Homo-oligomer: A and B are copies of this chain.
Amino acid sequence: MNQFFTDASNIRDGRITVTGADVNHISNVLRLKRGETVSIVCNDNGLTYTCAIDEITPVEVVCLIRDVQSESRELPVSITLFQGLPKSDKLEFVIRKAVEMGAVRIVPVAMKRSIVRPDPAKAAKKLPRWNAIAESAASQSKRGMVPEVLAVHTFAEAVTEARKCDKILMPYELAEGMDETRRIMTDIRSSEPGSIAVFIGPEGGFDETEVNSLKEAGAHIITLGNRILRTETAPIAILAWLTYIFER
């Protein structure tokens, strides 16, 4: 079943009114017709509504609510990915996969060894596109919310933001071995954190000053195993680990 997202304000009297880009998607791309069933998740209350399409006009699709489910597909811990800005279109790949794997926020970070130096005006222009990618990935993986992609942060801004999380994780090639990493992960699990920040270095890895600044912020340094992972694979691996450890 196709899934869409909506705000609580569009839900009234047993009906949900879909507007915006989803209207074209429903009528012209998916070619859904009156009577067909769609799944609509409310961004505000996290509920999933099973609906029948009642009316399709060029500007809106009115759906009748048939059933409501409160079952959550969200991880019991809120994960923010701080991704060192990678080359070319890899960030879009990372957004897609991080959403699929359960992250709730993605923060691109201009790190010292990032090869791309984003022009702030250009990066700001990309933000709507990045968030559209997140929404589409959220629909496909049946997420219970649409993860947000923030504007490109400086490293200092990212650390300030990460300090608001209960725990900070930093996979780093100079970490101690796997036994120590498993010990750290088990301890973190036991502490029942509400939120975790994960920092992933860009292609060139973290600069030493960045490592020190994260250590100072209380980050736990871990390894992701004995093979070298690409900057765009590492977030998938750590999100898989966090799923294994935390998923209900």
Which residues of A does B touch, CB under 8 Å? 72-75, 97, 100-102, 140-143, 177-178, 182, 185, 224-230, 233, 236-238, 240-241, 243-244, 247-248
Contact A140 B182 (CB under 8 A): no
Contacts of A247 in B (CB 8 A): 178, 225-226
Query: What number of copies of this chain does the assembly contain?
Result: 2
Q: Which 3 A-B pairs have the closest CB atoms?
A: A240-B240, A237-B240, A225-B243
**Pick the contact of A97 from B141, B142, B233 — CB < 8 Å?**
B233
- B227→A236 contact, CB < 8 A: no
Q: Which of B74, B224, B227, B240 contacts A241 (CB 8 A)?
A: B240
Q: How far is the CA of A247 from the CA of B180 in the complex (A)?
A: 12
Residue contacts A-B, CB under 8 angstroms, 15 given: A100-B227, A100-B230, A101-B229, A101-B233, A140-B228, A141-B228, A177-B248, A224-B240, A225-B244, A225-B247, A226-B248, A237-B240, A237-B243, A240-B240, A240-B241
Q: Give Cα distance in the complex from A233 to B244, angstroms.
A: 15
A154 to B226, CA, bound (A): 33
